[in-house]
Amino acid sequence: MPRDGEPPVHRLELRLPDQVPFAAGGFDAMGPMSRASYPHRHTFYEIVHVVEGTGTHVIDTERYEVRPPQLGVILPGQVHRWEGVRGLEGSLVLFTPEFLVGGAGDEELLRRLGERPWADLGADAHARTSALMEELAEEYRSGDDGFAGVLRSLLHVLLVRAARVPGTGIRPAVRGVAGEFLRIAGPAAAEGLSVRECAGRLGVSAGHLNEVVRGATGRTPAALLREARVQEAQRLLVATDLSVRQVAARVGFEDPAYFCRFFRREVGRSPGDFRKHHDRPAPSIAPNSRPA
């Protein structure tokens, strides 16, 4: 459950009796939550193929014009909403990490896709994506013997092809300890963990972690943790009415004044100024005001 004042968290209902953590279909088939106009998070991945409509899709602090055909990726923990949309049509694929046939490799692919989460599709990519999304939806609806395995395989193909779309600009895969660090960096930053504590979780020394992460990404683990903490703070400042003191506590700062200095150094403005000047047209989120 979300803590008081935070955006609602939507969870994926399991298909019974198969217990399959996956769903696919059009916006209407997925229900009204698929077009939710209020800020919310997911515990699952969402891939959205938009074929009609106008408006804006907001992911964290970035705004993307709906200009079909497009393909979007929303990662677990991100805050997103649809704003001012009209005639929004397309299809969705929802799934949890354990459903991925490629395991950690597919998770890494999704993480990198999430760095460029909204891509315009050319005619060929649109046609291929439409065919795959329809096949996923049909296989999901049929529930025939072995359908979960077919869904996993089709999903893997969708991810690989999504990475080929011009404009996604995803980076090469990061493997090993460095890849594991990138996978846990977001949650670790929100908990306020240090590089040494992250290294302990991964079973390596802080020096080794620094070496492999810098070699793989060109950046230090400390810099990546700072970036992740700033991103989560920005999400909360934009999508909630939590006080700056509360936001500081949620991202691991006991001292609000130190958090403000940290945020200003990283972002170039204070948390209050960032919130004031960021476009926040959505209604405030009150505790338990929306279904999760």
Q: Is residue 264 domain-shared with residue 135, that is, in the same domain? A: no
Domain that holds residue 139: 9-164
- Each residue's pLDDT tens digit in the chain (292 positions)? 456 677 888 888 777 667 789 999 999 999 888 999 999 999 999 999 999 999 999 999 889 999 999 999 999 989 999 999 999 999 999 999 889 887 778 888 888 888 889 999 999 999 999 999 999 999 999 988 999 999 999 999 999 999 888 755 455 567 788 888 988 888 888 778 899 999 999 999 999 999 999 998 889 999 999 988 998 898 889 888 889 999 999 888 989 999 999 999 999 999 999 988 775 544 333 333 333 3
CATH code of residue 103: 2.60.120.280
H or E element at residue 71: strand 70-74
Of 164, 194, 223, which residue constitutes the final position of a domain?
A: 164
Domain count, the chain: 2
**Domain presence at residue 53:** yes
Q: Is residue 17 domain-shared with residue 148, that is, in the same domain? A: yes
Q: Is 176 exposed, middle or buried (0-12, 13-18, 19+ CB in 10 A)?
A: exposed
**Domain presence at residue 1:** no
CA pair distance 203, 205, nearest whole angstrom: 7
Q: Is residue 29 domain-shared with residue 130, that is, in the same domain? A: yes
Of 144, 164, 184, which residue constitutes the final position of a domain?
A: 164
The neighbouring-strand residues paired with 49 are 71, 91
Q: Is residue 147 domain-shared with residue 216, that is, in the same domain? A: no
Q: Is residue 92 domain-shared with residue 213, that is, in the same domain? A: no
Of 104, 133, 164, which residue constitutes the final position of a domain?
A: 164
- Residue closest to 239 by CA, chosen among 72, 5, 35: 5
Q: Is residue 134 domain-shared with residue 17, that is, in the same domain? A: yes
State which amino acid sits at residue 26: G
Report the largest interatomic distance among the alpha carbons of the chain, rounded to a whole angstrom: 59
**Domain presence at residue 107:** yes
Which residue's entry shows tokens 């597919």? 106
pLDDT value of residue 32: 87
Instruction: Tell whether omega for the bond before 17 is within 30 degrees of 0, i.e. cis.
Output: yes
CATH code of residue 250: 1.10.10.60
Instruction: Tell me the residue length of the chain.
Output: 292
**Domain presence at residue 287:** no
